[in-house]
A and B are shown apart, each in its own frame.
Chain A
Amino acid sequence: MSEIKVDTLTGKTSAGDITVTSEGGAATMQLQQGLAKAWATVDQTGTMAFLDSFNCASLSDDGTGQTTISFSSAFANINYSVGSTCEQGSGANDSRVLGRQNTTPRVTNSFPFFVLNVELTALLDVDVANTIFHGDLA
């Protein structure tokens, strides 16, 4: 086994383009495209705070169950892809949905979201709101 210890990998032909081989060897893909560009676990209860995060600069408390994450480095366009889930309490759980607040258009440098209790049709703060962002950084 060989190993290269290095701090930074940069594409030779194009700085933002390094090709890697798939696990099965049948395909290649651009390394940078597959990396998550931001992720966060947020505690919305009490004083809202990051439990952990990457490429996230700050949070704003927009009301019960509503939070805006600001990114440290902005996306190149608004068509980034977001995945999410959330956790609350230790007992039996109601269905909960984490979605984007639609009161403002999508932007490249922040993402506002809400958590909804589907059974109660009510917004609520949760212990852990997880989000992950894929797309192109500026």
Chain B
Amino acid sequence: MSTVKVDTLVASDGTSPVTLTKQSAAKHWCMIANSGVPSISNSLNASSVSDDATGNFTITLSSAMENTNQAALGMIANSAANPSTSTVTGTMETTTTLAVETVNTAGTNLDVPFNQFAIHGDLA
């Protein structure tokens, strides 16, 4: 078994991203608590979250994605009910913002306590 100890990996030209065979890292993930005011509990590449309205908030990334055509996925959990019937949508409005909306099956916006997202794709 061989081990390379290194702080930074870049391509041989000194600047381009290095290819990791059979690996692709997420460029963003987060856990957001929302009991009225959303806050970031844990994250990668997230600088802030803004409260837009009940069941609506926007996550701002620290480093921008290359474009808005990235793979954003998410899941929410509402501790008030099991099973929860709440659903979530996420839209990359800009290269640095993911707009989130959480609704119940009646189509009514509501804040839920656990909001989890990840973005795969290319950083700028």
Contact = CB atoms under 8 A, between A and B. Distances in A.
B4 A136 contact: no
Contacts of B27: 22, 29, 34
A106 B7 CA distance: 33
Interface in B1-57: 1-12, 15-18, 20, 23, 25-27, 29-31, 41-45
A132 B118 contact: yes
Band of interface residues on A: 35 or more
B77 interface: yes
Contacts, number: 177
A34 B77 CA distance: 23
A24 B82 contact: no
27 contacts: A2-B12, A8-B2, A9-B4, A12-B5, A13-B7, A17-B7, A20-B9, A22-B63, A22-B124, A23-B66, A25-B16, A26-B123, A27-B62, A29-B27, A29-B123, A33-B25, A36-B26, A79-B31, A81-B42, A81-B117, A97-B87, A102-B79, A102-B81, A102-B82, A114-B82, A116-B83, A118-B85
